[in-house]
Structure 1
Amino acid sequence: MRKLIVIAIILLVGAITACSDDNATPSDRFSNYINHWNEKEFDKMYAMLSKSAKENYPTEQFVDRYKKIYQDLNVSDLKIEAETLSDKESEKAMKDGKVSIPFSVSMKTTAGPISFDYEANLIKQEDKDKENWYVDWDTGFIFPEMKDSGELRIDSTTPARGEIRDRNDMPLAMNDTIYEIGIVPENLGEDAEQNKKKIAQLLGLSIESIDEKLNASWVEPNLFVPIAKITKEDEALWNELVAINGITRQETTGRIYPGGAATGALVGYIGQVTAEELKKQKENNYSAQDTIGKRGLEKLYEKQLRGIKGSTVKVINDGEETILTEKEAKDGENVKLTIDINVQEKIYNTLGGDKSTTSVIDAKTGETLGLVSSPSFDPNEILYGSTANIWKKLEEDKENPLLNRFSSTYAPGSVIKPITGAIGMKNGTIDPKEGLKISGLTWSNGEGWGDYEVTRVSESNGPVDLHDAIVRSDNIYFAMQAVDMGAKAYVEGLKAFGLGTDFPFEYPITASSISTSEKLDDEVLLANTSYGQGEVEMSSLHLATAYTAFLNDGNMLKPTLLTSEEKAQVWKDKLITPKQADIIKEALRDVVVDGTAKRSAKNAKFPVSGKTGTAELKLTSDSDGQENGWFVGYPTDDEDIIVSIMIEETKGNSGLSTEKAVEILHKMKE
């Protein structure tokens, strides 16, 4: 008896369930369908289609098509709303077993908003012994114009990439005519394999890569098959190529870098977007065929330079085109720099491939006139050369041309001494007229230093004051003053000059650091830091910027890179008084007249002021290390430009940086 009761209960529950399906209204059922649609749950939508709809549109024609179209259009803010049937309409529908429900669709796409009204036909059908309402779907649900075999097409218009220009509107990165080199297969002739071998050698390609392009599914014997791009300047290469059967060319537009290697590290280059970049740029409407800034300013200003794609969404039906929405392409914005290409090229040529970094700024406005890393790379070769061979050559080059030296920091050596002197005068621990009694070439501050001693190049004939210490580059003087000043005061002074904080510049420049901990708790480290050794590091641009304080009555300017930025902004004000700035300037002039730069600046055609520096990089105190040579200086009379230069590995020729700096100043003043 109990068993019969249980069976009866199960049957009753099943009947209730079936009854609940039978009692579902068309509005309820379509509302459920719309919920899935709003969430782009296309599989669940497909499960609610009528039998005839499923027969006409297999899963892939529904689910996959919806997914592809919505993905291609980058559909967002999808909203579907339907009218609710009245009680009378619902009763009639239940009786007739069919009903039409009007609905509206709105969405945002890459080409603009799209909205439409349509009508859904629902029919009552039995499925697995249950009756329910099913959507009698057709392609008009996607877009009404697609009903009756209409095909959706999305056309994109690529905007012109913005150009990067210097202060005088000279192009640093521009769009210009280039040549696309291609092969017409039927013209390769009887010696096709030999001809392909010649082509591969000239273009630095593999025969396999050429064959891969020639064997593409779309290729016909008489069609132009692109295999490489070259610049218009490569006429010599073209003359060799055109002599080979099958080779031809077409004009197209490409990115050109007129400054070549002189601006390579600064400007960078563009390249084909990668799968990883596509993921990161998912919201920015990139496709696999697009290019993107890979390095330098091309990468930094990608958003401004790229522009906005134009798109047209249309349906073609029986030869008739219906535009659903469209958006015009917007060309990228030009970026205008304070950089002067002439200055940039003069610096690069003067360096002659030396491993170095040079920054030149306008001492009165803070505008950056030149930023050079040497040696460097030519972006044109990366774009239009044999990419694999070029990269192999660059990566294996011991001179490391891919390293951006102007954005890096280095031990500043003695060029930090004027800054140390300024800090001491500011906090009152250095009296510029007071001389320190220093004997011999070495100094130690007692037992706490162990065997360590600070050394200087030459002995003094009497007490050493600030002027003498800068002119003769006396390490011991500055070490003594820093120890007397104390770590707290000296660190505060260095921070006032911008060390230990982000460098305020459009282009990412590594922040200058006081030490690995940004503290100077160890007295030996404090002493070494005072003359540019220890762990202190600065960029060449930061040093040039710091010296603006000496030429602007104690105010350090903010360096700028864009012409749109305000000129002569003060980054750090009142670092020293105008009188104290004059004291530093007098010493910097005498460095060249009768100090450490006298010999190396002897060929100067006009008065030059500045400070030399040698930073020794070594692992232990008793070992020999690499020496980097520095010079930071300016024309004495005009005080209009500051050159900051560091050359690596100048051991045996410490004056090379000064010589190069003077030569750069000469060329700029010509």
Structure 2
Amino acid sequence: MPAPIRLKDHEVDTRLIRGRLLVGAVAVILLTLLLVSRMYYLQVVQFEHHSTLAENNRIHVQSLPPTRGMIYDRNGVVVADNRASFSLTLTRERAGDWETVLDSIIEVLELDADSRELFEKRIRQGRRPFEPVPVMFELTEEQIARVAVNQFRLPGVEVAASLVRYYPQKEHFAHSVGYVGRINEGELKKLDAVNYSGTHHIGKTGIERFYEDELHGQVGYEEVETNARGRVLRVLKRVEPISGEDIYLTLDIALQEAAEAALDGRRGAIVAIEPNTGEVLAMVSQPSFDPNPFVTGISFKAYGELRDSLDQPLFNRVLRGLYPPGSTIKPMVAIAGLDAGVITPSTRVFDPGFYQLPNNKHKYRNWNRYGDGWVDLDLALARSNDTYFYDLAHKLGIDRLHDYMSRFGFGQRVSLDMFEETAGLMPSRDWKRNRYRQSWYPGETLILGIGQGYMQTTPLQLAQSTALMASRGKWIRPHLARSVGGVQPVDTDPPADIVLRDQKAWEPARLGMEHVLHGARGTARKVGDAAAYRIAGKSGTAQVVAIKQGERYNREKTQERHRDHALFIAYAPAEKPQIAVAVMVENGESGSGVAAPVAKQVLDAWLLDEEGLLKSQYRPADSVLPVGVKR
């Protein structure tokens, strides 16, 4: 039997269609309401936010870096200038594939592969978004023209005019003024992001680093309207930057050049200080270097040559060089003995050419192996007699010796505004126990009394201790800045003056220093005889390599860089000191024969006029000495 035919139910179909239409209508209404509400939220609720975003696409705030403060010597000669320069900048966000753009720059300007590597390093350094990064400085007119012709190939690249630091005196002040360089990633994290926006350089060494805040100034800004390509159409608002403060140094370029000439190409250091003010008149570390390439970015090859040179031109010998002071500290040791009461000016010691501790066979040699016979303090200083000072050091002991030498600034930073200064080393019982876990031996006290052994000093410390001898213990920290923005720097924590139980105790030691140059048996009398004024000084020789007991120093068998260092300290005029000098000639061997003539040339340059006569302002009046002390 065939199946029945099913008839269509129109009523059911109608209900189904109506249900589907209702669901569709509700969905459409809901979607419409959602769209309308979203439009309301974006256009009404967030109107200010999106209008600001739209406005920012048109208006940008650009930083205006301040002009860095100038640096002058004490007479107004420019030593750190700002020179106009055209630089090539690249903004990564606008360049797109910036590595390809760098390749195009190299091709357009016909540069080498080293330049490509240097540019990439600069781009990869820490930076702020949309900040143009200088990749090349001091463009020539031809290079500027090439960039302009090929601008379509160089998106995000612009030629910008700016002021770049320039050091017209070049190597003369490299170790004192220092230099600026590009801000690295570590510095970027520590700096004020707002005040250094738009600034690409910061002080790296010397005065440039110590007074960075004063030299930098305050950033300005301007609001500009740009088109879709980022080109500035007009300036809407501008706040001018505040330039950095100018700095006048205590250094004198004429004396600086005279000191460099006195070294005559030898490795060494010279520091000249005005004892009454602490002003550093000259600060020489030789060899030196031209700081200008460091400003815009020195090539890897050029930097490698400086870094790897055996002469170490980048090394600041004045502040970081550590040398045994040798006999130059004997006047300070004499002051310690006089003040402690262990000797008097007439105390005598017999010198057979060596010194022995009680119950000890070891002989501590005098430089004069034949001995000087009976020696008092004056002759001991004039002759630089080691035996006398072995005995004096033994009488003082390490504890008192350490205390007195520390009062002269040894083993501590002495400057007011020299960032790179190292403290040196003034050894003590505690230091040796902590460093070597050993007791202090009496023999170590003896050699410390003649400036050998563990003791390490910088040329600046030697100059400061000499200034203290000249001023009879008046402590004024040596400083390089004479004024910053017209204001003289102030030492907020000056060291205590060296006050002796009897201030007359200064005179025998000072007189002994005079007799080094003007006494009949003085070690530097040839230099003193040629001087137009009286000089108080002390020579020193510092061993570079140790010599075995019983052996003699033989320069012919010693490599040039292993020979003794030559040192000399001096102040003049002796009656009314106006300048204190410390000289260190690396491997110079003889303090009296090599370093003393250098010191005299520096003193002459400061004290004598063009006719070779003592300048009128330095001619001392008759001075009165304590009873029993003769010149």
Same topology, TM > 0.5: yes
Please say if 1:634 is aligned against 2:541. no
Alignment match, 2:366: 455
1:584 aligned to which of 509, 518, 521: 509
Deviation at 1:571, TM superposition (A): 4.5
Partner of 1:217: none
- 1:227–1:317 CA distance, 2 compared to 1 (3 A): closer
User: Aligned equivalents of 1:332 and 1:392: distance in 2?
Assistant: 33
Change (3 A) 1:276 1:436: same
- Among 549, 552, 565, which residue is 2:471 paired with? 552
Deviations 1:326-359 (A, max 9, x none): 6431111122222222222221232233221111
Picking from 320, 323, 327, the partner of 1:414 is 327
What CA deviation, in whole Å up to 9, does each residue of 1:280-321 have, x standing for no partner?
325554348611112222122211111111123567799998
Could you tell me how far apart the structure 1 residues matched to 2:501 and 2:85 are?
54
The answer to whether the aligner puts 1:140 opposite 2:77 as a matched pair is: no
What is the aligned partner in structure 2 of residue 611 from structure 1? 538
The CA deviation at 1:140 is 2.0
Q: Return closer, same or farther for 1:181/1:597 CA change in 2, 3 Å cut-off.
A: farther
Q: Deviations over 1:261-294 (max 9, x none)?
A: 1100111111221222212325554348611112
Q: How far did 1:176 drift?
A: 2.6
Question: Per the alignment, do residues 136 and 457 of structure 1 end up closer, same or farther by CA in structure 2, a change over 3 Å counting?
Answer: farther
Instruction: Give the distance between the partners of 1:243 and 1:311, measured in 2 at CA.
Output: 29
Residues 629, 650 of structure 1: 8 Å contact kept: yes
- When the two structures are superposed, what TM-score results if normalisation uses the length of structure 2? 0.70
Q: Which residue among 529, 543, 546 is the counterpart of 2:448?
A: 529
Q: Corresponding residue for 2:300?
A: 388
- Partner residue, 1:562: 481
Q: Which has the higher contact order (CA 8 A, sep 6+)?
A: 2
Tell me by how many angstroms 1:583 deviates. Answer: 1.4
Matched ranges for 1:419-498 at <5 A: 419-439=332-352, 441-447=353-359, 451=362, 453-457=364-368, 459-498=370-409
Of residues 248, 267, 270 in structure 2, which corresponds to 1:358? 270
| 2:211 is the alignment partner of 1:301 | yes
Residue 328 (structure 1) aligned to one of 237, 240, 243: 240
Matched residues in 2 for 1:399 and 1:537: separation? 20
Hey, what's the Cα distance between the residues in 1 that align with 2:166 and 2:327? Answer: 41
Name the CA distance, whole Å, in 2 between partners of 1:457 and 1:412: 19
Percent identical pairs in the alignment equals: 25
CA distance in 2, matches of 1:368, 1:210: 38
AA of the residue aligned to 2:189? K
Among 577, 580, 593, the alignment partner of 1:655 is: 593
1:667 is aligned to 2:592? no
Distance (Å, rounded) in 2 between the aligned partners of 1:151 and 1:507: 47
What does residue 498 of structure 2 align with? 573
Partner SS state of residue 531, structure 1:
coil
The match for 1:378 is 290
Aligned partners of 1:361 and 1:178: how far apart in 2? 37
Q: Report deviation, 1:418.
A: 0.1
1:6 aligned residue: none
* Residues 167, 292 of structure 2: 8 Å contact kept: yes
Structure having the larger proportion of residues in strand: 1
Counterpart Cα distance in 2 of 1:438 and 1:396 = 46
Alignment of 1:270 onto 2:162: no
Distance 1:199 1:370, change over 3 A: farther
Separation of aligned partners in 1, 2:160 and 2:41: 56
2:68 counterpart of 1:156: no
Does the Cα contact within 8 Å between 2:68 and 2:243 map onto a contact in 1? yes
Write the distance in 1 (CA, Å) between the matches of 2:411 and 2:135: 52
8 Å contact from structure 2 (residues 585, 595) kept in 1 = yes
In structure 2, distance between residues paired with 1:367 and 1:148: 56
Distance 1:147-1:528 versus aligned 2 partners, 3 A rule? same
Of the three residues 272, 279, 292, the one matched with 1:367 is: 279
Quick check: 586-595 or 548-557, which moved more?
548-557
Q: Distance in 1 between matches of 2:495 and 2:570?
A: 20
- CA distance in structure 2 between the aligned counterparts of 1:305 and 1:338, rounded to whole angstroms: 17
SS of 1:493 mapped into structure 2: helix
Cα distance in 2 for partners of 1:588, 1:362 equals 18
* Contact 2:566 2:590 survives alignment (8 Å): no
> 467-476 vs 519-528, which deviates more?
519-528
Q: Give the match's secondary structure for 2:175.
A: helix
Q: Contact 1:53–1:136 (CA<8 Å) still a contact in 2?
A: no
Contact 1:366 1:558 in 2 (8 A): yes
Counterpart in 1 of 2:72? Answer: 165
User: How many aligned positions are there?
Assistant: 508
Q: CA RMSD in A?
A: 4.1
Distance 1:383 1:565, change over 3 A: closer
